[in-house]
Structure 1
Amino acid sequence: MPRQRKGKPVFSFTSLALGLLASAVAAEESAAEWNCRSVNGEWVCNGQTQASSPPDPAKPPVPADTTAGAGAPPASPRKLPPLQVGKVGGVPPAPKIEPQQIPEGWTCEADDRGGWRCKLVGVEPGGKPHLAKIQQEPSLPWLHPTFSAYDDHVFKTLVRLLPEDPWQRYCATGRAALGDRPPIRPEGQPLDLEADYSRSLTEDLVYFSGNVKVRRGGQHLWTDALLYDGETGIVNAWGNVIYEENGYIFASDNAWLDLERGRARMNHTHFILGPVPARGTTARSRFESETLSRHHQVAYTTCPIGNDDWVVHARDLKINRETGKASGHHVWLEFMRVPFLYSPYFSYTIDDRRISGFLTPRIGISNARGFDAALPYYFNLAPNYDLTLIPRVMSKRGFLGGLEFRYLLRHSRGRLAGEILPYDSVRKKIRGEVAFYNQTRFTPHWTALADLRYVSDKHYINELGDNLSIASSRQLHSQIKTEYRQGDWYFMTRADNWQTVDPNLSSRDKPYRRLPQMVFNYDHAFAPWLRSGWQSEFVFFQHDDRSNGHRLHLRPRVQLPWRHAAAFAIPSLAFDYTRYWLPGKGRSLSRALPVASLNTGLFLEKNWGRNLIQTLEPRLFYLYIPFDDQDDIPVFDTSRYDFNFSQLFRENRFSGADRLGDANQISYALTSRFLTADEGAERLRLSAGQIYYFRDRRVTLPGEAVETRNTSNIIGELDLFPNRLFSLRSGIQWDPYDNQMDRGEAMLQYKDSDDYIANLSYRFRRDRLKIVDGSFRWLLFQGLHAVGRWQYSLRDAITLESFLGVEAESCCWRVRVIGRRFVRDVNRTTETAVFAQLELKGLISLGKHVDRFLQRNIRGYGFED
């Protein structure tokens, strides 16, 4: 399904250490013999030490965790990969993080700050029985401050063990630094171990101490001391425990691991997720199996070290990789050291699977709706369908309920959406909208589409739609169609309808329904010099307030193209036949006309030196269509094309088949481009063209006069790219009869990366519009951009649209706030709205999609979705 919210792998990487330590079960034999047994869940050891090989008094054997190791049944001996003891090349030394010494013969307990509280019991044991115990850590208050100076010190220590600082590239480019490193699989890799001291305490109990370093494949482990029980598969590591693999690294005061059952416990853990990148801490972590883990006092952020702009906290966090779900209790979010979002319960996905829960809230303010807030709730009903409920509150309108149901079948996908406002406080009535979309692929060549929409009234979209996403819409289009495409063949059948949503349009302005429309086309190149095919259409047009009718349109064509590197010529001959059946009039109408054209052009090139190439591209296009009186033919779906440079080379000046313009004309145009010789980059393009008519154009639309001029407007275009910063695109239409500009536009852009963007444009149509449009995104200082747009009609002396806002951004968050004012309809009704968006990178985005709105309205603006 499209809606898949991936959770961040905050803690799941730690279970990778289980496979690494499973192989650390061999060491060189020493002269000491130890006899160890489990008493009340703790290890009690007796031994005799020879004077020639005294034990290290600062590194005693440390027992397994009393809670998780008690009562565990013995496991079968494991066959392990070969162990190499000694100096290991390529394993960097681990920096010490406040190392703690536990002298032999002392009883030590972990205090609440991760340190050790030790006292001597009797005399120095010197090999006699002794007891070491790890006390259960007391609970901490769930509301604790952000990372301390000591936490930052640990994070910096861990970063030095990575190939590079993961935030250095991410903050500069927005891309993770370590994500492209291929993982090194540990399976089949030899295990290398280095330690200052090692001893076999029993047949199965092995002890290592003093700068213990373990490596297998891409996995690395550092610790001060390590004790392994080969019979039960239990490992104890304590003192500067550090584990790293493929950019994921963590440090813990101590770790207890049950390798046979995939269980583990760690206290006071710091972690860095390089590929995200992210960092955080946990007070306690308990892995109950290879897929289930529980964590206490969690803090997490994607901000670089020393920057705690946002931190998410959780008193308790449960991660279940089997279900793909993580859940937390007493979760709260702190931004700029101010707690502003709290939830007693929170859940999210840690993989591609979807779960039910609240989605990002949407909040806005406008003068038409007042305070506008929506809080969607997502239901994961099944793997192939889901439901979202969207309660929405508008202070000036009332409560609006919405829903969206989506489904994904073997050959289809679609959505059903609707919303209802039971009582509009302004309009004093019930209002709503419903939409249905379905796309089906029966075969790779045959598809079907249903796209249906309906609103309760003409004002619904303007008054209750999303001011950031809604475009200027006058008609809602609904359709059902099926298409078949294979090679040179194309078939389509469709039925559609229109609903007027512009209150200033009457029902007669609504387009015709097509019930149905059928299209059958064929186009094939039989040889490089021969191309032939046809276009055909049959359609029934229906309208409530205008005449109905059937139309059949056929257009077979043959072309004899000739192409050369410096020239081309394409003669073409077509036969255009159209027939109408008009119910109620007892007659049919038809039109049959030939269409002949010749399209030619040259491509000339000159190298001027100095890294400059100029091209000359002259083009001639001749078109002949005889005149046929078409005034009695109704107009169902036909209008006049907007005259532009491409219109110089069209065979019909009308869109649709209700009019075929008579023509005896020649179009002539010249294009010249200036390119760099080394890169082929276009620096300047100049184009100009005109149509010369050999006779009047007598075929017109209803209400239009016959065109008697023997030349068209002169069309000119200029595109200039002087350097990487500036670009200019412009075009004009010059009326040679009135000797004045009939139409013109110019767009100037300055863009120096994404930090400095400025656009200025001017559009002109004689007696119709004069519009100035400016937009920008500009860096005020590091981390703060100003954004805005101003669109002003000089002819009507009114601002059509304006907005102004700011974008504040750091390495790990982004805030966008804009205020917008725009003209909503032809009556010049204006609306003002304010929208905000807070994006915590790598976690969540809150508020309206201001980023998408800015991308549509500021040319050159881009954002990472």
Structure 2
Amino acid sequence: MLARLYLVYLLLFFASISFANEANWNCQQDKNTKEWVCVGSAGSAAKSMPNTQGKPDTVEQGNLAKPAPNVPIPVAPPKNAEPRAVEALKNDQLTQPKLDDKPVDSVLKEEAAENPDAQRANPIAIRPLNPPDVSEAPPPVLPASQKPNSVTTKEVAVLDEGGNPRAHGWNCDTKGKDGNWNCQLVGADPRGEARVVETEDRGFHLLDPAFNNKQEHIFNTLRDRFKHNPWGNCTIQLGSKKYYISDKKLRAKANVDMNSNAAEIYDNEIGNYQGRVEMQRADQRASSNSANYDSVSEALDLHGNVFYSEDDVSLFTETATLKLASDEARMRDTLFISPETPIRGKASAVYRDSKTLSRYKDAAYTSCEPGNQDWVVHAGDLKLNKETNTGSAKNAWIEFKGLPIFYSPYLTFPMDSRRKSGFLAPSFGNTQKAGFHFSAPFYWNIAPDYDAVIRPRYYSTRGGLLAGDFRYLAKKSSGRISAEYMPDDAISQKPRYLATIKNNAQFTPNIRSNLDLNIVSDKEYYSQLGNALSFPVFSNIRSFADASYVDKGISLTGIVENYQTIDPILGGRLTPYRRLPQLNLNLDHSFKSLMTDVGIQNEYVYFQHDDSELPDAFRFNVKPYVSFPLKTASVYLTPKFSVQYTQYVLNKEHSEFKDSNISRTLPIASVDGGLFLEKDVDLFGNSMLHTLEPRLFYLYIPKVNQDNIPIFDTSLYDFNYDSLFRENRYSGTDRIQDANQITAALTTRLIDSKTGLEKLKLNLGQIFYFQNREVTGKIVRAGTDFLFNPVQTSSTSPLVAELSSQINKHVGVQLGTQWDPHSNEFVRGNAAIHFENNPGELINLGFTYRKNTLLRDSLDLALADNTFTKEERDRFKIYRDSFLTIRSNDIITSDISMRWPIYDNWFGVARWQYSWLFNQSQDAFVGLEKETCCWRFRIIGRRYVNNLLATVGNANNLANPQYNSQTGIFFQIEFKGLTGTGLDLGNFFAKTIYGYRKKGY
């Protein structure tokens, strides 16, 4: 029997030699030395090795035994290998090719003449069970000209492209002109053992890397076992909707499929599997070198290079015991990835007690993607509970960039967005007026429908402050109550406080209400106890409560409203009235068959003011209207008629307003019409859509003397392109302008037909007046405050021009100007350029010019009005003489902002807003920002102006205004998936840098 097998083996062996002309390797045995010599396709003979047996070493059938000592193993050829050689390997043939179509003897003679000292190699026949895997292949067999003696190895100094010695082992370069592997050996021959590819230097680290290079490569393999890359989207939020759907009920119904190179089954229950074992059941997959499976207890033991994955976990270990029925597991020296958060880590031991509970010993984990371990949490014991989605760790500490930064004997953390009581990350900063401040907030998860955050805060120059937020969630409403209290300010020597109550309710799809109440102890609270990011740009704190019903054709709203003025220079008449309450009822309906729209606007409001010099009043306003819209594809015309009736009832006697009952009725007529024309044009070889959109708007409102009506909520609109088509140049209803005017406007566009970009948009417009505008704001002499605008006699409004262009997807330009023919000067101007190289790479340049000619004209008319006393005219003269110096209502500012890459994903962020009128920086900050998929860091220093403190009535103070400015340094750091500290600078950047888009996680 043995002789017969031996004969078959010899026949197969010599059959393989007979096909040498068709293969990739060519081997012959020397007649004198009895040594085998093999020649590869590179054109040079392999070095030899004595063969005491006189025949090739073989690998036993059914085993992937280790190769003979000092004998390299042929592997899968490179991509540029001959097609026949590749096919031969696929067919699992023992092949011996010839060299460059030359006979082997002639090749050997040529090489022997060139290198008489060369030794000949001992060939080896390898018959793998399966086609070799290129990704797991050992180094290739090298030609003699490139491979050292296989018996005595001599180290060769091999340098990389930078001139540094390469790592020990086989170093190959496939970029040679000859197309060969060009491999050289440095150090001892690794004999085909797998080695991890060297990675870049991580720079200075106090601690050793948490995961070595080999583990990082295993993490890459684990990541690839998921259907989707868990780190494929850096904006995945903690606890967000899963990117996969796992139906674990399928596991109970699915069979366990086992595949291996060899298997033994005992009593049809216990299976022993060897060689490339693969198991699959529903979403569960496992692979290992060997496995034992008990189908009765559904217990699976895996050994050697164990990879296991399911929809919500992927892991690697050397040994694993799995109980498939109960989803229990025991593993040693394990690497794991949980894609939901996502996190990855390692542990010396993993105990999976159930489907939801798992424990880890000597664990380290991070949310950074494989290859990045900027921050890592280490823990002696780690427990994860998927049912409550919480985790806990003992003896935990955090390292960042190789430096330990935090330690805790015990901590807990959420694994999703569900809430959990405990201390939050501390925050701290520094401001000029409050000094250094530190806060350690505590989160209290009181119940599923309400919670609280207690935020004690300490200021180094002012003392302690207690703050807190209480949130609640009802079936039809939600809200928040916030408060801050400082019992004794060390500087002002008084208690200070702030309180806020917010509530939003949706009772039905059509009925809802809102509540927003705010109160602050003093006007300087925000500027002194706030920070440089939260300082408000408003002058009044608004509090209101409203309720509304909205349905098709009807809108009913009720509101009560109050204002608290926090601007120290505002007072008297400049403080707003309270509305206690205001009711609005609007009705509208369209008769499509008659091409008619009808509607009515109704308002009832009660105004109340603290100043006894100002009257309180009821106001009732009703405005029915009818319009006849006529529209086609290119033409529209809309005549509209309305009547506005307003009734006032004053409940106080006032020297300026003798009548307590005042009414006003005004008819209003307008006609709005225009054309829309378009044409395809070819400009410079580009197909464009060119449009012309002329528009005319006629408005008539008769003059009615309204000087006997107080002003409660009315002021002039700022003049811009949209103002050309308003029925009233006043906001509110205390003043209705008199008008007999027509607006002529033209809009033209050039739109790229391919990209859709608006290459050019130009708006031109001007109002032509047929009469003077004599309705003005009534002067109210209360202290030093007044409201006034003069009679306008010009025949035209300023000419408004707006130009914008999206030059390409990176550059946009906006220009605008207003030229006043009455004063023959430009009264408005703005220019802005926005450049976005790549998403997040921004540069913005802007300039704004505004001249308040209305105030100057008002002062000139006031000085010529003899009804004013000499004292009042002297005060107006101070204003006028100071006007050219301070021009407090003028604006001449430049604004530069940017976010630009500096180095290695570090971005510089900055903004500089400068007033050329006052030669003063209004707002400036500069900082750095870096964001990766696992952490973000931001830091800025900011200087800004709080307000302008100038005493009204003093010319010297007006000419030399005093500024109140302060500085602050603030930062934010966040370990994504773990915690963070500092202020939310992302929201601040989104408000101050045009085009900045905040990234979430």
TM exceeds 0.5? Answer: yes
1:48 corresponding residue in structure 2: none
Q: Determine if contact 1:94/1:161 at 8 Å carries over to the other structure.
A: no
> Which of the pair is proportionally richer in helix?
2
Q: From the superposition, tell whether residues 846 and 207 of structure 1 become closer, same or farther in structure 2 (CA, over 3 Å).
A: same
2:424 corresponding residue in structure 1: 359
1:630 corresponding residue in structure 2: 706
Q: From the superposition, tell whether residues 629 and 354 of structure 1 become closer, same or farther in structure 2 (CA, over 3 Å).
A: same
- 1:771 is aligned, of 857, 872, 893, to 893
3-state DSSP of counterpart to 1:463: helix
Q: Determine if contact 2:238/2:977 at 8 Å carries over to the other structure.
A: no
1:155 corresponding residue in structure 2: 219
Q: From the superposition, tell whether residues 440 and 811 of structure 1 become closer, same or farther in structure 2 (CA, over 3 Å).
A: closer
Q: From the superposition, tell whether residues 206 and 56 of structure 1 become closer, same or farther in structure 2 (CA, over 3 Å).
A: farther
State the distance in 1 between where 2:329 and 2:578 align.
Answer: 68
Q: From the superposition, tell whether residues 430 and 713 of structure 1 become closer, same or farther in structure 2 (CA, over 3 Å).
A: same
3-state DSSP of counterpart to 2:722: helix
Q: Determine if contact 1:94/1:222 at 8 Å carries over to the other structure.
A: no
After TM superposition, give the deviation of residue 363 of structure 1 in Å.
Answer: 2.0
After TM superposition, give the deviation of residue 57 of structure 1 in Å.
Answer: 14
After TM superposition, give the deviation of residue 809 of structure 1 in Å.
Answer: 3.8
3-state DSSP of counterpart to 1:861: coil
State the distance in 2 between where 1:93 and 1:494 align.
Answer: 74
After TM superposition, give the deviation of residue 486 of structure 1 in Å.
Answer: 0.7
Q: Determine if contact 2:307/2:315 at 8 Å carries over to the other structure.
A: yes
Matches within 5 A, 1:253-652: 253-273=318-338, 277-527=342-592, 529-545=595-611, 546-585=614-653, 587-609=660-682, 610-652=686-728
Q: Determine if contact 2:840/2:997 at 8 Å carries over to the other structure.
A: no
After TM superposition, give the deviation of residue 233 of structure 1 in Å.
Answer: 4.2
State the distance in 1 between where 2:765 and 2:268 align.
Answer: 95
Q: From the superposition, tell whether residues 57 and 823 of structure 1 become closer, same or farther in structure 2 (CA, over 3 Å).
A: closer
Matched, 1:860 2:995: yes
1:393-432 deviation digits (Å, cap 9, x = unpaired)? 2212211111111111011110111011112122111111
Q: Determine if contact 1:171/1:811 at 8 Å carries over to the other structure.
A: yes
After TM superposition, give the deviation of residue 370 of structure 1 in Å.
Answer: 1.6
After TM superposition, give the deviation of residue 172 of structure 1 in Å.
Answer: 12
1:684-704 deviation digits (Å, cap 9, x = unpaired)? 011111111111111111232
Q: Determine if contact 2:897/2:912 at 8 Å carries over to the other structure.
A: yes
1:791 corresponding residue in structure 2: 913
State the distance in 1 between where 2:970 and 2:130 align.
Answer: 57
2:966 corresponding residue in structure 1: 831
State the distance in 2 between where 1:542 and 1:602 align.
Answer: 47
Q: From the superposition, tell whether residues 173 and 781 of structure 1 become closer, same or farther in structure 2 (CA, over 3 Å).
A: farther
When the two structures are aligned, how many residues end up with a matched partner?
Answer: 736
State the distance in 2 between where 1:650 and 1:419 align.
Answer: 44
Corresponding letter in the other structure for 1:646? D
Q: Determine if contact 2:238/2:341 at 8 Å carries over to the other structure.
A: no
Q: From the superposition, tell whether residues 218 and 234 of structure 1 become closer, same or farther in structure 2 (CA, over 3 Å).
A: closer
2:753 corresponding residue in structure 1: 677
Corresponding letter in the other structure for 1:829? N
Q: From the superposition, tell whether residues 209 and 96 of structure 1 become closer, same or farther in structure 2 (CA, over 3 Å).
A: farther
1:44-91 deviation digits (Å, cap 9, x = unpaired)? xxxxxxxxxxx9999xxxxxxxxxxxxxxxxxxxxxxxxxxxxx999x
Q: Determine if contact 1:279/1:302 at 8 Å carries over to the other structure.
A: yes
After TM superposition, give the deviation of residue 627 of structure 1 in Å.
Answer: 0.8
| TM-score normalised by the chain length of structure 2 | 0.70
1:733 corresponding residue in structure 2: 818
Corresponding letter in the other structure for 2:651? P
Q: From the superposition, tell whether residues 232 and 190 of structure 1 become closer, same or farther in structure 2 (CA, over 3 Å).
A: closer
State the distance in 1 between where 2:227 and 2:503 align.
Answer: 49
After TM superposition, give the deviation of residue 640 of structure 1 in Å.
Answer: 0.7
| TM-score normalised by the chain length of structure 1 | 0.80
Q: Determine if contact 2:757/2:808 at 8 Å carries over to the other structure.
A: no
After TM superposition, give the deviation of residue 853 of structure 1 in Å.
Answer: 1.0
1:557-596 deviation digits (Å, cap 9, x = unpaired)? 0000100111100000000000000113473100011000
Q: Determine if contact 1:817/1:837 at 8 Å carries over to the other structure.
A: yes
Matched, 1:191 2:256: yes
State the distance in 2 between where 1:264 and 1:192 align.
Answer: 19
State the distance in 2 between where 1:289 and 1:272 align.
Answer: 18
State the distance in 1 between where 2:234 and 2:538 align.
Answer: 40
RMSD of aligned Cα (Å) = 3.0
Unaligned stretches of 5+ in structure 1? 1-54, 59-87, 98-142
3-state DSSP of counterpart to 2:792: coil
3-state DSSP of counterpart to 1:825: strand
Q: From the superposition, tell whether residues 721 and 290 of structure 1 become closer, same or farther in structure 2 (CA, over 3 Å).
A: closer
Q: Determine if contact 2:299/2:324 at 8 Å carries over to the other structure.
A: yes
State the distance in 2 between where 1:498 and 1:146 align.
Answer: 57
State the distance in 2 between where 1:819 and 1:507 align.
Answer: 37
1:538-559 deviation digits (Å, cap 9, x = unpaired)? 0000001021000000000000
> Which of the pair is proportionally richer in strand?
1
Q: From the superposition, tell whether residues 634 and 621 of structure 1 become closer, same or farther in structure 2 (CA, over 3 Å).
A: same
1:223-278 deviation digits (Å, cap 9, x = unpaired)? 22323344544332222221123484211121223445443211111013456554
Q: Determine if contact 1:755/1:785 at 8 Å carries over to the other structure.
A: no
State the distance in 2 between where 1:825 and 1:743 align.
Answer: 24
Q: Determine if contact 1:761/1:772 at 8 Å carries over to the other structure.
A: yes
After TM superposition, give the deviation of residue 391 of structure 1 in Å.
Answer: 1.2
1:130 corresponding residue in structure 2: none
Query: Which is further off, 617-626 or 389-398?
Result: 389-398
1:15-40 deviation digits (Å, cap 9, x = unpaired)? xxxxxxxxxxxxxxxxxxxxxxxxxx
Q: Determine if contact 1:281/1:299 at 8 Å carries over to the other structure.
A: yes
Query: Which is further off, 324-333 or 662-671?
Result: 324-333
Corresponding letter in the other structure for 2:673? T
State the distance in 1 between where 2:229 and 2:383 align.
Answer: 29
Q: Determine if contact 1:402/1:417 at 8 Å carries over to the other structure.
A: yes
After TM superposition, give the deviation of residue 364 of structure 1 in Å.
Answer: 1.4
Q: From the superposition, tell whether residues 242 and 655 of structure 1 become closer, same or farther in structure 2 (CA, over 3 Å).
A: same
After TM superposition, give the deviation of residue 202 of structure 1 in Å.
Answer: 5.5
Percent identical pairs in the alignment equals 38
3-state DSSP of counterpart to 2:947: coil
Q: From the superposition, tell whether residues 192 and 206 of structure 1 become closer, same or farther in structure 2 (CA, over 3 Å).
A: closer
Q: Determine if contact 2:341/2:415 at 8 Å carries over to the other structure.
A: no
After TM superposition, give the deviation of residue 189 of structure 1 in Å.
Answer: 4.4
Corresponding letter in the other structure for 2:553? D
Corresponding letter in the other structure for 1:663? A
Matches within 5 A, 1:795-810: 795-810=917-932
Q: Determine if contact 1:360/1:845 at 8 Å carries over to the other structure.
A: yes
1:454-513 deviation digits (Å, cap 9, x = unpaired)? 011111111112321333121000011100001110001111111111122225422100
After TM superposition, give the deviation of residue 859 of structure 1 in Å.
Answer: 0.6
State the distance in 1 between where 2:466 and 2:63 align.
Answer: 72
Corresponding letter in the other structure for 1:412? S
Q: From the superposition, tell whether residues 637 and 755 of structure 1 become closer, same or farther in structure 2 (CA, over 3 Å).
A: closer
Query: Which is further off, 185-194 or 439-448?
Result: 185-194
2:830 corresponding residue in structure 1: 745
State the distance in 1 between where 2:237 and 2:448 align.
Answer: 32
